[in-house]
Structure 1
Amino acid sequence: MLNFDKDRFVNIQRGAVAIAEDVRVLMRKLLDDGLERVFFMGTGGVQFLTQPAIELARASTVFPVSAAFPAQVILEAPAGLDERALVILPSLSGTTKESVQLLSFLKERGVKTLSLTGHKNTPLGLDADYNFTNFAEDDTSSESFYLQTLLIVLSLLVERGEYTDFDKTVAELKQLPELLVSVKENYEARAATLAKEIKDENYHIFTGAGSVWPQAHYYGMCILEEMQWIRTRPVHASDFFHGTLELVEPGVSLFIFKGEDACRPLADRVENFAKRYTDKVRVLDAASAQLPGVSDKTRKLISPLILATMLERLSAHLEVLRDHPLTTRRYYKRVEY
């Protein structure tokens, strides 16, 4: 496979799943100490990667689990941001400026903090109350953060008596690192073809629903816009028929992401409509992945992770065909905080 290090990928994803037992112990301790609410506060694209876990909590428990933007929290803190709250701070670098500023703000308020970082010897890696560090890089971080945040919410649910198959689910998740390599291998030819199809296109609509909507938003904004300077329009499939449908015409590129959860019919509805009006409907379906030994229940939890691992192959080919490395930026170093 093009520009792919199998051993590095497998080791990183194994590291993500390896927090399962420790995070469950931590969650039990926090609940016993009076934890009453959880916030996920990531800066930029990494916050999208926490959203499937937040949605799982929304559908599974009345325990408050929500999200907030770090830069906005400092200016206007949400209610309940106190000593009975836990804020989870994901940051690959561990040095994200807005998140580092937020950490200081939270400490002043006595809020408990848990950081998820790719590097330990960093402000977020060292100064949060609790930390899980799992080395990763841009091409492997999506799966890593999806897995870690999923395990955090599953730990909350099982310790509240709201999830009964934790050990079975974790055992299946531990099979994923190697299985995801096969997913990449099986998608490689399609990724190469798709990259050739879109390498000169400068606008795409991205849509999805349920657990895969964050991946649609993430890929449009954080990969194609930030890393390839290609214009995109991410729109939730529920909103597609309230505006964006009027932009569909011959030649318009539409990416539809499909998961295996209850919201899949929303993506089907968009597909059924769009194929009548544009010849450029590109469907990525988590159900197409072969994952022997993984139950339907677990598959429903990992649809965004499957799509992320497929899309990494598209990105690998796209940056070569466009002669635009994914690390190239125009303004990143110039932004003032």
Structure 2
Amino acid sequence: MLNFDEARFLKIQKGAASLASRIDTVIASALNGGAENLFFLGTGGVAYLMQPAFQLLQRNSGFPTFLDYPAELVISGSKNLTSRSIVVMPSLSGTTKESVAMLAKLKETGATVLTFVGHEETPLGKGGDHVFVNFAEDDTSCESFYLQSLFVALSVMKFRKEIASYDAVVAELQTLPELLLEVKRSFEPQAETFAAKIAGSDYHIFTGGGNVWPAALYYGTCILEEMQWIRTRPVHASDFFHGTLELVEKGVSVMLFKGEDAYRPLAERVESFAPNYTDKLTVLDSKDFALPGLSEEVRALVSPIVLATVLERVSAHLEVMRNHPLVTRRYYKRVAY
């Protein structure tokens, strides 16, 4: 595979999977200690990666769960954010400015803080009440963070007896690193073609529903806009027909992500509409990839992880094709802002 280290990838994803037991222990301790709600507080792209876990709890658990912006909470606070809150704060670098500021506020509040970082010797790597370190870099962090946040959600549901299949689900998730590597291998022959479709337009509409919507939002915003300077319009499939559809015409690229959860029909609606008006509809469907040994329940949970691992292959080809390395920035961490 182009510019890819298989051993490194497996080590990172196995590292994420290995955190399941400890995450479960910490969540159980916090809930036994009287925790009353949970906040996912990420900044930027990593916040998008928390959304599938947030949605899982929001829709399938009675435990109050929030997803908010640290930059806003530092200013306003929240009546729901108290000493009885569990806070999940992810940051690959461990140094994200807004999250570091939020951490200081959380110390004053007395909430139980779980930090998920790629580097331990950092403010967030040292500052959490419970620190989960799994080294990763931009090209391997999506799967890692998706998986860790999913373990948090599943552990909450286990404690509250809202999921009967916890042990079986977690056991299946332990096999995911090797399965993802096979997904990458199977997609590699198509990755360059997919990348060419992205390189062939200077504007793309990205859309999806359910737990793969964050994958569309992340890829459009954090990869194409930030790392490739390509303009995108991410829009949730639920909102596609309330404004964005008027932008669809011949030559307009629509990138549609399809998952395997209950919200798949939202994507199918877009898929039925778009080809009538544009000749540039591209569909990426997690259902197209073999994941031997995974149940339908788990396949639905990991759809965004599967799409993330495929899109990494697209990015690897795209940066070569456009002669624009993914690490190239104009402003991000280069100028004061």
TM-score where L is the length of structure 1: 0.98
Q: What is the DSSP-based 3-state SS (H/G/I as helix, E as strand, rest coil) of the residue aligned with 2:311? A: helix
Alignment-mate amino acid for residue 38 of structure 2: V
Q: Give the aligned CA root-mean-square deviation in angstroms.
A: 0.9
> Counterpart in 2 of 1:332?
332
> Counterpart in 1 of 2:196?
196
> Counterpart in 1 of 2:21?
21
TM-score where L is the length of structure 2: 0.98
Q: What is the DSSP-based 3-state SS (H/G/I as helix, E as strand, rest coil) of the residue aligned with 1:138? A: coil
Q: What is the DSSP-based 3-state SS (H/G/I as helix, E as strand, rest coil) of the residue aligned with 1:50? A: helix
Question: Once the two structures are aligned, what percentage of the paired residues are identical?
Answer: 58
Q: In structure 1, how many angstroms separate the alpha carbons of the residues matched to 2:336 and 2:189?
A: 41
Q: Which moved more, 1:14-23 or 1:218-227?
A: 14-23
Q: In structure 2, how many angstroms separate the alpha carbons of the residues matched to 1:251 and 1:89?
A: 40
> Counterpart in 2 of 1:102?
102
Distance apart, 1:200 and its partner CA: 3.6
Q: What is the DSSP-based 3-state SS (H/G/I as helix, E as strand, rest coil) of the residue aligned with 1:163? A: coil
Q: In structure 2, how many angstroms separate the alpha carbons of the residues matched to 1:48 and 1:196?
A: 25
Q: In structure 2, how many angstroms separate the alpha carbons of the residues matched to 1:7 and 1:291?
A: 20
Distance apart, 1:196 and its partner CA: 2.1
Structure 2 residue 69 is the aligned partner of structure 1 residue 69 = yes
**Deviations for 1:160-207, whole angstroms, at most 9, x for unmatched residues?**
111111111111111111111111111111111121233142100000
Structure 2 residue 129 is the aligned partner of structure 1 residue 129 = yes
Alignment-mate amino acid for residue 140 of structure 2: T
Structure 2 residue 87 is the aligned partner of structure 1 residue 87 = yes
Distance apart, 1:335 and its partner CA: 4.6
Alignment-mate amino acid for residue 219 of structure 2: Y
Q: In structure 2, how many angstroms separate the alpha carbons of the residues matched to 1:166 and 1:30?
A: 18
Give the length in aligned residue pairs. Answer: 337
Q: In structure 1, how many angstroms separate the alpha carbons of the residues matched to 2:22 and 2:308?
A: 25
Q: Which moved more, 1:197-206 or 1:93-102?
A: 197-206
Taking a change above 3 Å as real, the CA distance of residues 75 and 335 of structure 1, as seen in their structure-2 partners, is: farther
> Counterpart in 2 of 1:33?
33
> Counterpart in 2 of 1:244?
244
> Counterpart in 2 of 1:169?
169
Q: In structure 2, how many angstroms separate the alpha carbons of the residues matched to 1:86 and 1:26?
A: 10
Q: In structure 2, how many angstroms separate the alpha carbons of the residues matched to 1:79 and 1:65?
A: 13
Structure 2 residue 269 is the aligned partner of structure 1 residue 269 = yes
> Counterpart in 2 of 1:57?
57
Alignment-mate amino acid for residue 119 of structure 1: H
**Deviations for 1:274-308, whole angstroms, at most 9, x for unmatched residues?**
01111110000010110000110101101100000
Structure 2 residue 244 is the aligned partner of structure 1 residue 257 = no
C-alpha contact 2:30 2:112 (8 A) present in aligned 1: no
* Structure 2 residues without counterparts, runs of 5 or longer: none
> Counterpart in 2 of 1:214?
214
Structure 2 residue 321 is the aligned partner of structure 1 residue 317 = no
Q: What is the DSSP-based 3-state SS (H/G/I as helix, E as strand, rest coil) of the residue aligned with 2:86? A: strand
Alignment-mate amino acid for residue 275 of structure 1: P
Alignment-mate amino acid for residue 249 of structure 1: E
Distance apart, 1:336 and its partner CA: 3.6
Distance apart, 1:222 and its partner CA: 0.3
Alignment-mate amino acid for residue 4 of structure 2: F
Q: In structure 2, how many angstroms separate the alpha carbons of the residues matched to 1:12 and 1:300?
A: 22
Q: In structure 1, how many angstroms separate the alpha carbons of the residues matched to 2:335 and 2:260?
A: 39
Alignment-mate amino acid for residue 49 of structure 1: L
Structure 2 residue 66 is the aligned partner of structure 1 residue 44 = no
